[in-house]
Structure 1
Amino acid sequence: MTAQFKDLALDAADHQALADWWCRAMGYVRRDSLTGDERPAGWPVPIVDPAGGGPLIWLNPVPEPKSGKNRMHLDVFGDKAELLELGATVVRERDDDIEWDVLADPEGNEFCVFTPR
């Protein structure tokens, strides 16, 4: 084996705000709230599924805004309307060609939303 999956990482101009957004969107929490750790505001923010089912996601601070299409993205089960109420935007709606919606988080990072099972 050459590589083994560890975590996901997402770059963000405002990594603190985007960490909060993804926590609200997916029911995640900041890992530090579970461990009691404190980290400087400029450091990456790890968020986790408190039930332990999903991967750890790092929100990494970067100075530049998103400039192009994601080459890798998240796929989630969820409610498109609720995500839009949280501040997501529609990139592409499901149609005859795709069975999911493509949305973007508040910083423009695309993710696909599938109907919950």
Structure 2
Amino acid sequence: MTLRLVQVNFKARDDSALGRFWADALGWGVSSEGPGVTNIEPLGFTWPDPTAVCVDVVTVPDPETVKDRVHLDLATTSAAHQTELVARLKDLGATPADVGQGDVPWTVLADPDGNVFCVLEPRETYRDTGPIAAVVVDCADVRAMVGFWGQAMDWTLHEETDEFAVMRSAKGVGPFLEFRRAPGARTWWNRVHLDLLPFPVEDKEAEVARLRTLGATDLDLGQGDVPWTVLADPEDNEFCVLGRG
């Protein structure tokens, strides 16, 4: 298997403004591959590298307010660090968000474009992930999603139940990819999605064909002639396979 999760893609009203928020939030640097796109990655980072899942922010005409099925969990190292990080994020423009979480030890916030994310209390599991502890995907059927994504990528499955599953890079570095059960059909489009990269990139068309045999379907979002292929997983969450075959 030669597909790896390399970045999380955010749709935004203003890629530069939202990109700067996430760069400041994560302590990373910014660059741009072209108009309407802001890339956020660790300073000194050579892309791609499994030690980090980067963030791309892309301007779209109207990133309507929707309930995201993909969000980021941020790691902290102590209770004081969690408090300090939440305060700093609010200073950067984040706002408290109520998604029905009740009394929990983590803090739920929304970025300036309304994308929900969590600042976790310190957990030993995430001690070496970097600032992003996990990329979290809500889904109706955890085992079915793991069945697809476990075959789609070269990441290792660490835990699987009917309610929750965890994957991580086969090299044991970087953030986790987590699937959490959240019943209900999706009736909205995601502003946040996953981007996969084939290794080598010349295998892209073969990898796309393999994903289709696993249950992925083609998705037309009006993207036109682009170097990536847009697909949907078995629960209709869009994702992209980067590169041109």
Give yes or no for TM over 0.5. yes
Deviations 1:54-82 (A, max 9, x none): 63111010111222111100000132111
Do the aligned partners of 2:141 and 2:162 also contact (CA within 8 Å) in 1? no
**AA partner of residue 99 (structure 1):** P
- Structure 2 gap ranges (5+): 1-24, 26-88, 90-118, 120-130, 199-206
- The yes-or-no answer on 1:49 pairing with 2:169 is yes
Indicate the structure (1 or 2) with the bigger Cα radius of gyration: 2
Q: Which residue of 2 aligns with 1:35?
A: none
**Aligned partner of residue 7 in structure 1, secondary structure:** strand
Of 221, 224, 236 in structure 2, the residue corresponding to residue 108 of structure 1 is: 236
Of 77, 84, 87 in structure 1, the residue corresponding to residue 215 of structure 2 is: 87
- Structure 1 gap ranges (5+): 33-38
Q: Which residue of 1 aligns with 2:135?
A: 8
| 1:61-100 map, 5 Å | 61-78=181-198, 79-92=207-220, 95-96=224-225, 98-100=226-228
User: Comparing both chains, which one has the higher relative contact order based on Cα–Cα distances under 8 Å and sequence gaps of 6 or more?
Assistant: 1
- CA distance in 1 between partners of 2:173 and 2:233 (Å): 22
- CA distance in 1 between partners of 2:185 and 2:229 (Å): 23
Aligned residues: 109
Q: Which residue of 2 aligns with 1:30?
A: 157
Query: Greater share of strand residues, 1 or 2?
Result: 2
Do the aligned partners of 2:164 and 2:179 also contact (CA within 8 Å) in 1? yes
TM-score, with structure 2 as normaliser:
0.40
Change in Cα spacing, 1:115 to 1:99, as seen in structure 2 (3 Å) is closer
- CA distance in 2 between partners of 1:107 and 1:53 (Å): 27
Do the aligned partners of 2:140 and 2:181 also contact (CA within 8 Å) in 1? yes
Do the aligned partners of 1:76 and 1:114 also contact (CA within 8 Å) in 2? yes
Shift of 1:53: 5.2
Change in Cα spacing, 1:63 to 1:6, as seen in structure 2 (3 Å) is same
After TM superposition, where is structure 1 displaced by more than 6 Å over at least 4 residues in a row?
Answer: none
TM-score, with structure 1 as normaliser:
0.79
CA RMSD of aligned residues (A): 2.5
Q: Which residue of 1 aligns with 2:67?
A: none
- CA distance in 2 between partners of 1:113 and 1:95 (Å): 15
Change in Cα spacing, 1:26 to 1:42, as seen in structure 2 (3 Å) is same
- CA distance in 2 between partners of 1:72 and 1:5 (Å): 15
Change in Cα spacing, 1:82 to 1:55, as seen in structure 2 (3 Å) is farther
